[in-house]
Structure 1
Amino acid sequence: MAHLEEAGRAAYLAVLAPGADLDHRGTRLSQRLLGELLSALYDDPSDEVRIGTARFEGATFTSRAWFESVTFTGDANFHEATFTGTAEFRSATFASDAWFQKVTFADDAQFNAVTVASDARFSGAQFETAPQLGPLRCGGAVWLDGAVFGAPVTVEIAARTLSLERARWQSTAALRLRYAEVHLAGAVLKYPVSLAAESVPFLQGHLSEEVLGDRDPRVRVMALGGVDAAHLALTDVDLSKCRFAGVVHLDQLRLEGRTTFASPPTGWHRHGPVPQLWSRRRTLAEEHHWRAIAGPAPGQQPPTGGWEPGPYHPDRARTTGPETVVAVYRQLRKSLEDGKNEPDAADFYYGECEMRRHDATRPWGERSLLTVYWALSGYGLRASRALAWLAAAMIVTIAVMVLWGLPFSNPKPQITGRQVVAGQQITLTADTPHPAKPTGPWTRRVTTERSEKALRVVINSVVFRSSGQNLTTIGTYTEMASRLAEPVLLGLAVLAVRSRVKR
């Protein structure tokens, strides 16, 4: 259809019918002219305005552009259009794609209760003064890559995907979302921006979400690389697949509400000949990606072992390694600690130590020490593990004491001297002989009395005290070792409990 021209306007409007196509690329449309154009598309003012394919690429709307309650049955293309006045799209329906790429909204942009069946593309759009975008529901993706928001704005979107890569906020913003997988890589935040998941539909009863089907309404943040997190707050979002590598000021990110992270695989898994049961904790997607390829030789297709493979699986060179993940864990831990959330920060400390232990660039001695620390108490965070080792050490100590450490009887003092002539001074020496090592069959050594003595020795060792019992040489060294090791294990258990209840 030819461009609209003033000379042929009357004839053009006369042949328009509901559902007709519009082609006004590069034209200037005033409010009066646009009103006449839309009024020709229905017979009765109460009827719904229906437009087929609409092409307004490069068009300029010189005043208020009214598309309220309009249904676009085909593609609606406003690429590089300019709205100098209010852009009114309230309750509009787009049966196909909606194209608003590089559009300039100089005034308000009203997209309240808008429905887009497919994709809504606002890449490179400029919202100079618009205070709100949405509520908008989209059956596909909403593209706001490179969009610029010049004033404080509230964005309300329910969509399958929301791409905000390289978007720029020049003032504060509140993103209230549902369903979406959010991509924020490279976004520029100059002022505080909050991203929160809405638990209930927008405008209940007026904005049905049927276009999204039975999709999970949770909001999943997928990527934050390049974002300055000092101005970002996340509330009630799913971060189980979010990649944090490359985030600036990650230690200043605010995590509020029910923010979820990935978990290790459940059940038993075999790592070589040794079966493993992974400890329950919060983990990052980067750790999942690395563990999914760790183990086999380069070039082989490794089994994931229940870990989630990354986008570059199984390419080791492009997958984030432990040396990078350890820094991400450290910064997230600091973020929670600064927010006085010590218990949840403990999981990130565990992940930090895990990555340090597996980082092949670190000295062998440091990695060995971390391995011992992990095995004894889960880096001071697993009280059950430390208590299990303490119980095992006490049992071993009691067994050694009963079998070899306690003499059969306490030695009695002996007085020795030399017989001299009557009337001369006699010299006597009192001495206690060394406890004799118990002999005989083991069944004679395991008695209630000896077990009770051994238990007293062990309990005193746990609290770093001497039992005062007469012990054989083996028993003496065993007590010394237990007085060193068992209080340490008890301290690790107390430290683990403290880390979970610390305010």
Structure 2
Amino acid sequence: MVLHGACLAHLDGSDRETYLASLRPGSNMDHRGTVFDSALSAQLLDAVRDPADQRPRFGAVRFSRATFEGEAPFGTARFGSRASFDGATCKGSALFNSTVFGSEVRFRGATFEGEAWFDGTTFESETRFDRATFDGDALFVRATFEADAVFDEAVFGARTGFRRATFRACAGFDGATFKDVALFVRAAFKGDAWFDGATFKGGAGFDSATFKGRAGFDGATFQDGAGFGRAAFESASSVGPLACRGTLSLAKAVFSAAVTLEIAASRVDCHRTRWASTASLRLRHAVIDLSDAVLEFPVSVTAHDPGFLTTRGCPLDESGLRQAPVRGESLHGVDAAHLVLTNLNLAECRFSGTVHLDQLRMEGRCPFPLPNSQGIHWRRGLPVRHTQRLLLAEEQHWRHSRPRSDPGWLPAPPGADIVEPPALAALYRALRKSHEDSRNEPGAADFYYGEMEMRRADPTIAPAERGLLNLYWALSGYGLRAARAIAWLLAAMTATVLLMIGFGLPDTPARPYPRAAGVVGKQNPQLRADFPDRFTTARAQKAADVVINSVIFRSSGQSLTTVGRYTEMASRFAEPALLTLALLAIRGRLKR
């Protein structure tokens, strides 16, 4: 309101008193560009204070580009009509706590250099804070926005608090910047919530928030951690793509509708997350923890190799994120019957406690860890070389926990239990079945090897069974190592040839027993030549014929000494068995 051609701040004492005396609760006023000190602000509010409840009451007001040098003490005030604070500057604290805005209110481009208090404030109509700047703390605790609330491109320089705030219509924070901690804990977004392109430079907390409409975080970036623990997404069909340099926590969050999440983060915590419908998680760079998650419908977790694009076609800003493959951390307590993993690195993933692990689907390339040594190392003065195979992280933890363990095995992470061989064998068995059901015989073979290793290491099994397992391992690597079986086959064939040449092939034919002996038949063939003279080419050829026939389980038909007959019988049993083990091992590696 301008009187005598001057703004309120420049009126002399009598004119100012006359103007203030003319005001009543609910008066309209226009103070655009006016500079208010603390005294003038207090006088203005006293002039419109309702005697009934001592609350200042305004009609339509214009404070555009006004400057409040001290506090802006509008706490408990009621604005019955449109209020405009566009471009206003509050140099001190802006006190709007418990204020009621009964109509449209605008703070577009306003600057709050001190704290901004809107605790318990009610905005009954459209509210606009777009491009506003909050240099101090901005507190909207328990604020209620009955209509659309727009904070697009606002800048929050200090702590921001929307604890228990209620947004009954759309909440827009597109392009907003939060330079410090931003808390939306227990906030209720009953309409759509838009944070597209928002930047959170401090921690962000949406814990126990409720999103009844869309949850738009398209192109949002979190430069620290982001918490959505216990948040409820009732109808959001997509979240992201968003980037988080720290941990993005979805622990105990609930997704009630089919949803697609696109996240580039250092870590994604889905501990006890509940998926009440189908879901697709597309991740980049992250370690994901799915322990105790509840999957009521199929859920897929996919490593997304190409960079994410926002809906506007712009690449998602992933600066500050370490380039890394997507890695699984734990599936403990998960019902894997509804889970599909695609291209996840499972080198450190823990599977103990997973329900229906045999129904887990793994697609694409899901690498498991390899043994700790690619070459030969020494243990107890003897050279040891671990067989190259896929193994579980839990086996590494168990081997690391053993006395005098080999170097290189990974220790268990803090808080993780050491899984013993009987339970490890069950895990390997379930994963073997999962691969067999997917027609992945080579992968199933590796898990079968791990299962047999854990059975062999089980201290509770009988010594006789352990002896058989040791023999099975030594001869052919549980029927999975063709090279080992072939090596033993060649060794057996060589030994058979040498025994045949040295002791099995006679040089004197069988002769009838003398009549005086009273025995009908012929004597056994005899080998009478001196030992060095027995190793001839002709005898070697005959011995090779015996061995070749023995490999295919046939008799050579040659006359043999007693030692030769027993040697042939042994070779006819051992060598076909070794050949069969080698063929089975080759088949297990090639069949799909």
Letter in 2 for 1:168: R
8 Å contact kept, 1:19–1:51: no
Q: Which 10-residue stretch deviates more, 167-176 or 201-210?
A: 201-210
Q: 1:171 to 1:30 in 2, by over 3 A?
A: farther
**In the alignment, which residue of structure 2 is the partner of 1:289?**
397
Match status 1:161 vs 2:267: yes
Q: How much has 1:351 moved relative to structure 2? A: 0.4
Letter in 2 for 1:229: A
**In the alignment, which residue of structure 1 is the partner of 2:351?**
244
Q: Which has the higher contact order (CA 8 A, sep 6+)?
A: 1
Matches within 5 A, 1:20-39: 22-29=116-123, 32-33=126-127, 35=128, 37-39=129-131
Matches within 5 A, 1:254-403: 254-265=361-372, 266-294=374-402, 296=403, 302-311=404-413, 318-403=417-502
1:37-94 CA-to-partner distances (Å, cap 9, x unmatched) read: 335449xx9x953222321111111211111111112211111111111111111111
8 Å contact kept, 1:263–1:281: yes
**In the alignment, which residue of structure 2 is the partner of 1:102?**
208
Q: How much has 1:344 moved relative to structure 2? A: 1.1
Match status 1:93 vs 2:185: no
8 Å contact kept, 1:58–1:80: yes
Letter in 2 for 1:242: C
**In the alignment, which residue of structure 2 is the partner of 1:116?**
222
1:313-372 CA-to-partner distances (Å, cap 9, x unmatched) read: 9x9xx4111011111111111111112212211111110000000011111211111111
Match status 1:433 vs 2:433: no
Letter in 2 for 1:233: V
8 Å contact kept, 1:283–1:351: yes
In 1: Cα distance, 2:235 partner to 2:194 partner: 14
Among candidates 157, 163, 168, match of residue 57 of structure 1 = 163
In 1: Cα distance, 2:74 partner to 2:119 partner: 7
Q: 1:415 to 1:191 in 2, by over 3 A?
A: closer
Q: How much has 1:211 moved relative to structure 2? A: 2.8
Q: How much has 1:27 moved relative to structure 2? A: 4.2
Matches within 5 A, 1:102-251: 102-203=208-309, 206-213=314-321, 215-251=322-358
Q: How much has 1:410 moved relative to structure 2? A: 3.4
Q: 1:4 to 1:455 in 2, by over 3 A?
A: farther
TM-score (norm 1): 0.89
Q: 1:259 to 1:27 in 2, by over 3 A?
A: farther
8 Å contact kept, 1:24–1:59: no
1:112-158 CA-to-partner distances (Å, cap 9, x unmatched) read: 00011101111111111111111010111101101000100000000
Letter in 2 for 1:347: D
In 2: Cα distance, 1:81 partner to 1:23 partner: 17
In 2: Cα distance, 1:166 partner to 1:312 partner: 19
In 1: Cα distance, 2:459 partner to 2:414 partner: 21
**In the alignment, which residue of structure 1 is the partner of 2:28?**
none
In 2: Cα distance, 1:209 partner to 1:185 partner: 29
Q: 1:98 to 1:416 in 2, by over 3 A?
A: closer
Q: How much has 1:159 moved relative to structure 2? A: 0.3
8 Å contact kept, 2:131–2:155: no
1:151-202 CA-to-partner distances (Å, cap 9, x unmatched) read: 0000000000000001101110000000100001010000000000001110
8 Å contact kept, 2:489–2:579: yes
Q: How much has 1:217 moved relative to structure 2? A: 3.3
Q: 1:271 to 1:30 in 2, by over 3 A?
A: farther
- Identical amino acids, percent of aligned pairs: 47
Q: Secondary structure of 2:387's partner?
A: coil
In 1: Cα distance, 2:336 partner to 2:85 partner: 57
8 Å contact kept, 2:244–2:266: yes
Q: Secondary structure of 2:576's partner?
A: helix
Q: Secondary structure of 1:133's partner?
A: strand
In 2: Cα distance, 1:92 partner to 1:60 partner: 20
Q: Unaligned stretches of 5+ in structure 1?
A: 297-301, 419-427
Letter in 2 for 1:140: G
Letter in 1 for 2:579: L
Q: 1:343 to 1:279 in 2, by over 3 A?
A: same
In 1: Cα distance, 2:74 partner to 2:228 partner: 24
- Greater C-alpha radius of gyration: 2
In 1: Cα distance, 2:539 partner to 2:459 partner: 49
**In the alignment, which residue of structure 2 is the partner of 1:425?**
none
8 Å contact kept, 1:159–1:212: no
1:211-253 CA-to-partner distances (Å, cap 9, x unmatched) read: 334x233110100100110110000001110000000111111
Q: Secondary structure of 1:174's partner?
A: strand
Q: 1:71 to 1:158 in 2, by over 3 A?
A: same
Match status 1:15 vs 2:96: no
TM-score (norm 2): 0.76
Q: Secondary structure of 1:329's partner?
A: helix
1:414-455 CA-to-partner distances (Å, cap 9, x unmatched) read: 59779xxxxxxxxx999543211344242x111100111111
